[in-house]
Chain A
């Protein structure tokens, strides 16, 4: 970190670590741009629709575009915002001393916080890629949406407002949010920033010890790891939710939609799930490097370290899987029963148990493989880590 105030406190290198936000915003913008563009383009042909059947189909397409835009866009936007805030807090937590020195030297919170605008770049990169990707996929998407030729030909148009809403405004929003949140977080007194771990237990409640008194150290550490970064619990739930919802949805809706839609949903689900899971677990391990190193010094085995640090997330991931299953079923039920209720020939939709079971088995296998990979990473943590401050 450079201490000359007019230079950047945080560089592109830091923003590059926010790849999770780039990927999520890319997915959000890709889906939303395609559907919103389709929504606007399909509206332009409304006057050309003559038959009642086509009108019903048109209304269903418009409703689908709106639902997908709101649900996917909203869900992914919230996740991106949470992820950004988590990263800023994490950045401040891991750079407490440097930030404390700057504050001690007299730099104001706002002056330091202004440097966090660069975090908006991660959103910009993601939204631009998503926007371009959407336009590349759009001709094929339009053709598939109107495969039965129930509507007049729909032409792809560029709508500058979409670019404004999905690229320019999110970039500004994320930059402003980064500055605002950093400014809020920097209100910590200088001494607390300078002295590591000083505020760690400030939030711990009085009833903390009673229940955990009889637990073993490993069990207690497992609980503590979960409690210490609740937002990571959210990310694990989100990752398994994405995996569960998107894999099941992509196969369950094969009769309801095109193969392309299914493949797109599957791809987005897997990208979101793996990105989030990777970021969450990497953060868990990095945040506990010294604890792991200390455990190894004392003679705890690799298996015990993994159990204490990663074991607590396993049941959480299954909760995410269950929520994802319920979500995808509810969403498809709504689509079939409400959005397409007047459309003739819509297949009957029932809960697809085999798909759910296959999805669950693959989820367990993938999750356990990931845990195995990360346990190997834990093994590689040098026990001298504790001596490096």
Chain B
């Protein structure tokens, strides 16, 4: 479903120019659960931004069902994200002046999803529907972020260190919710993390180091959020 060919990305100019991604190619199958594992500075977040259409590569192509998204105009890329992509970030990025209901509605309206409250219920936030982000714990905010991303019914869900700002218990809860919802809705997951324990939940693990893929493997058994180490 997603085909990445020879992605190269650099930042800076002149002597300070550094190549963050060095000709990366890979394929992600529909419905897969992929974890991109790497240390800080390995280029995994840049790679996630490029394959999700948030950023453009210097060269290389990203195909979704044969459509090269790197060749799309900004407006078409926005429309592509609207129809296909969901995001969950480490820092949640909820809208502070909007309550839980409205934050999730932000995603739901894009897919004309009238039943978005089911997802709020599924992430256990029914009682917090009219609470504002600052009235919620970190874990609850991340669950709102999960609900917001899924309310737009994405085909692919991208997660950038979704548990990076959470404690162990809350982190496990959030991952558990995501896995349960994946089973229910069947979307593809591409998650970036530095935590090798979380990689045990994935079907496919892609290891990154210094802007290159250093290894790829499949987990024979996918553990659940409460079985992995932390």
* A221 and B93 contacting across the interface, CB-CB below 8 Å: no
The 8 Å CB contact of A302, one of B75, B80, B97, B106, is B75
Binding site for A on B (CB under 8 A): 49, 54-55, 74-75, 78-83, 85, 87, 89, 91, 93, 95-99, 101-102, 105-110, 130, 132-135, 152
- In the assembled complex, 26 residue pairs joining A and B whose CB atoms fall closer than 8 Å, in A order, are A197-B134, A201-B132, A204-B132, A208-B99, A216-B105, A216-B109, A217-B102, A217-B105, A220-B98, A220-B102, A224-B98, A291-B95, A294-B95, A297-B81, A298-B82, A298-B107, A298-B110, A299-B78, A299-B79, A299-B81, A299-B85, A299-B152, A379-B74, A384-B49, A384-B54, A386-B89
* B93 and A386 contacting across the interface, CB-CB below 8 Å: yes
Bound CA–CA A38/B42 (angstroms): 73
A 198-209 binary contact with B (CB < 8 Å = 1; else 0)? 111100100011
* A301 and B78 contacting across the interface, CB-CB below 8 Å: yes
Of A217, A221, A383, most B-chain CB atoms within 10 Å: A217
* A198 and B132 contacting across the interface, CB-CB below 8 Å: no
Bound CA–CA A212/B105 (angstroms): 12
How far does the Cβ of A289 sit from chain B's closest Cβ, in whole Å?
12
How far does the Cβ of A297 sit from chain B's closest Cβ, in whole Å?
6
Q: Is A228 an interface residue (CB 8 A)?
A: yes
Bound CA–CA A379/B74 (angstroms): 9
In the A-B complex, the 8 residue pairs with the closest CB atoms: A299-B82, A201-B132, A299-B81, A197-B96, A217-B109, A200-B96, A209-B130, A217-B105
Bound CA–CA A290/B93 (angstroms): 8
Binding site for B on A (CB under 8 A): 197-201, 204, 208-209, 212-213, 216-218, 220-221, 224, 228, 290-291, 294-302, 379, 383-384, 386-387, 389
Q: Which residues of A contact B83 (CB under 8 A)?
A: 299
Q: Which residues of A contact B75 (CB under 8 A)?
A: 301-302
Bound CA–CA A200/B82 (angstroms): 29
Bound CA–CA A216/B81 (angstroms): 20
Q: Which residues of B contact A199 (CB under 8 A)?
A: 134
Contacts A204-B132, A298-B81, A299-B85 known; A389 to B106 CB distance under 8 Å? Answer: no
Q: Which residues of A contact B133 (CB under 8 A)?
A: 197
Chain A residue at smallest Cβ distance from B79: A299
Bound CA–CA A216/B134 (angstroms): 22
Q: Which residues of A contact B78 (CB under 8 A)?
A: 296, 299-302
Bound CA–CA A387/B87 (angstroms): 13
Q: Which residues of B contact A224 (CB under 8 A)?
A: 97-98
The 8 Å CB contact of B101, one of A197, A213, A299, A379, is A213
* A218 and B109 contacting across the interface, CB-CB below 8 Å: yes
Of B78, B85, B105, most A-chain CB atoms within 10 Å: B78
Q: Which residues of B contact A218 (CB under 8 A)?
A: 109
Q: Which residues of A contact B81 (CB under 8 A)?
A: 297-299
The 8 Å CB contact of B54, one of A300, A302, A383, is A383
Bound CA–CA A300/B78 (angstroms): 7
Q: Which residues of B contact A197 (CB under 8 A)?
A: 96, 133-134
How far does the Cβ of B150 sit from chain A's closest Cβ, in whole Å?
12
Q: Which residues of B contact A220 (CB under 8 A)?
A: 98, 102, 105
Bound CA–CA A300/B105 (angstroms): 13
How far does the Cβ of B144 sit from chain A's closest Cβ, in whole Å?
13
How far does the Cβ of B65 sit from chain A's closest Cβ, in whole Å?
17
* A200 and B97 contacting across the interface, CB-CB below 8 Å: yes
How far does the Cβ of B94 sit from chain A's closest Cβ, in whole Å?
9
Chain A residue at smallest Cβ distance from B55: A384
Bound CA–CA A295/B110 (angstroms): 10
How far does the Cβ of A375 sit from chain B's closest Cβ, in whole Å?
13
Bound CA–CA A291/B105 (angstroms): 14
Q: Which residues of A contact B95 (CB under 8 A)?
A: 221, 291, 294
Bound CA–CA A44/B165 (angstroms): 75
Chain B residue at smallest Cβ distance from A291: B95
How far does the Cβ of B133 sit from chain A's closest Cβ, in whole Å?
7
Q: Which residues of B contact A300 (CB under 8 A)?
A: 78, 82, 110
Bound CA–CA A201/B98 (angstroms): 9
Bound CA–CA A302/B102 (angstroms): 20
Q: Which residues of B contact A200 (CB under 8 A)?
A: 96-97, 132, 134
